[in-house]
Structure 1
Amino acid sequence: MKRIYFFFLMLATSMSVVFAQKDAKAQAILDKTAAAYQKAEGIAITFGGTQKGTLLLKGSCFYLDCAGVKSWFDGKTQWSYVQQNEEVTISNPTAEEIQSVNPYALITSYKTLFNYRYRGFQTRNGKKGQEIVLTPRQKGDIQLITFTVSADYEPIYIGVKLSNGKTQEFNITSYQTHRNLNSSIFRFDAKKYPNAEIIDMR
């Protein structure tokens, strides 16, 4: 299921010495981005690029609607609904699995899962921001992640280079903070999908 999506996230080897060290400039930017994320409370995001979609965030919870798949995560349980198959898969995902669905998981996991370096100012989709390159510490599906943030430490762009050589790009087209997001938004409502087959993997 996680391969249907994206993203961001996940892990390869063969890293040069320049990636092996943590960059103080990069860490300062990531720290400020994480702090801004925590203060933003409810966040509503729309994105384009390789895929288009909507992402709602609040703390560790998220709702994602992208490419015919909807995912809800309430901090413990994840529901993934595939419209084409009318199936809902329920699971208690690991941190790594959450990263494969929620692109913003890297904002809270960069200290433990990634090495990073500052690349300087870059323009992405007409927007200028400071860019960080993150490389996973463990081998996996992701070779590196390119992360660009605005002067207000809001994400502008996320690019994920996979170990198979492909790159998935996500341009943030709208980023709204302090949204009033009820906890029910992050849970699957079976009443709205009466014909869905439930597959419980817990």
Structure 2
Amino acid sequence: MRLLSLFISVFFVLSNLATAQEENPKDPRAKSILDRLSAENKKNEALYVKFAFHMVNKQDGIDEKQNGELWIKGDKYKLVLPGIERYSDGSTLWTFLTEDDECQITSVGNDEDETSFSPSQMLNIYEHGFNYTYEGKKKPNGVEVDQIKLFPEKGGKPYHSIILQVKSSSNQLYRLIVKGKDGNTYTYTLSEQSPNPEVSDAFFTLNTDDIGDVIDLRE
């Protein structure tokens, strides 16, 4: 779940890319694309994303696929995957295991589960900076993209590199590939993006009255 959290965090920090890059500019071509991506995302107060998740570890024979949906509004989000739903209103995080009819409730930023994250923790993806380089035009699934490879300047991350594929025609993120230090490769392909979906703040909370097992871990 930690690398999936990284995927979510990318959408929160894309609007902050320009500031981070100005402090430590790298490849000018890559920076130009990231600036446009940042500008595109700043237009949106909210975002809906449908994506395909693919995890591969050739050494361990792992090849897993699943589809998911993500809604983001400010520091709030809702994530839906097979068997799990996560809701966050910015202060409280609900993790609902649908098959087990179990929900865990934690305070955002106050739990010790490294797979959880608050908006401030999300910013860590760019807080310490990245080296990045432009890798040219690619055409995955017939979609023309500009590919940028990022490397964290400091250690301690669960990954050693991140690949962003940005649609050349629309400056939208098409694919995110995370190369994990555990040998796993996590690929997130965005099949649909809808800016500014009409969702209320209540959409990002979970009513637990009808859930069988509710574990409240808030202090």
Q: Which moved more, 1:86-95 or 1:143-152?
A: 86-95
CA contact (8 A) 1:6 1:168 kept: no
Gaps of 5+ in 1: 11-19
Is 1:27 the equivalent of 2:31? yes
Tell me the amino acid that sits aligned with residue 123 of structure 1.
Answer: K
Gaps of 5+ in 2: 10-23, 55-65
Q: Which moved more, 1:106-115 or 1:49-58?
A: 106-115
Is 1:133 the equivalent of 2:149? yes
Q: Residue 119 of structure 1 aligns with which residue?
A: 135
Is 1:37 the equivalent of 2:19? no
Measured in 1, the distance between the counterparts of 2:145 and 2:25 equals 22
Measured in 2, the distance between the counterparts of 1:22 and 1:70 equals 38
CA contact (8 A) 1:161 1:168 kept: yes
Measured in 2, the distance between the counterparts of 1:158 and 1:4 equals 11
Measured in 1, the distance between the counterparts of 2:201 and 2:173 equals 24
Is 1:88 the equivalent of 2:103? yes
Is 1:63 the equivalent of 2:65? no
Q: How much has 1:7 moved relative to structure 2? A: 4.7
Higher relative contact order (CA 8 A, sep 6+): 1
Measured in 2, the distance between the counterparts of 1:98 and 1:28 equals 36
Specify whether residues 156 and 130 from structure 1 end up closer, same or farther in structure 2 by C-alpha distance, changes over 3 A only: same
**Percent of matched pairs sharing the same residue:** 22
TM-align CA RMSD: 3.3
CA contact (8 A) 2:50 2:70 kept: yes
CA contact (8 A) 2:136 2:147 kept: yes
Specify whether residues 101 and 88 from structure 1 end up closer, same or farther in structure 2 by C-alpha distance, changes over 3 A only: same
Specify whether residues 106 and 34 from structure 1 end up closer, same or farther in structure 2 by C-alpha distance, changes over 3 A only: farther
Measured in 2, the distance between the counterparts of 1:4 and 1:174 equals 20
Tell me the amino acid that sits aligned with residue 133 of structure 1.
Answer: K
Matched residue SS, 1:165 = coil
Tell me the amino acid that sits aligned with residue 87 of structure 1.
Answer: E
CA contact (8 A) 2:177 2:185 kept: yes
Under a length normalisation based on structure 1, what TM-score does the superposition of the two structures give? 0.77
Measured in 1, the distance between the counterparts of 2:139 and 2:121 equals 21
Is 1:142 the equivalent of 2:159? yes
- Structure exhibiting the larger radius of gyration computed from Cα positions: 2
Q: How much has 1:39 moved relative to structure 2? A: 0.9
Q: How much has 1:177 moved relative to structure 2? A: 1.0
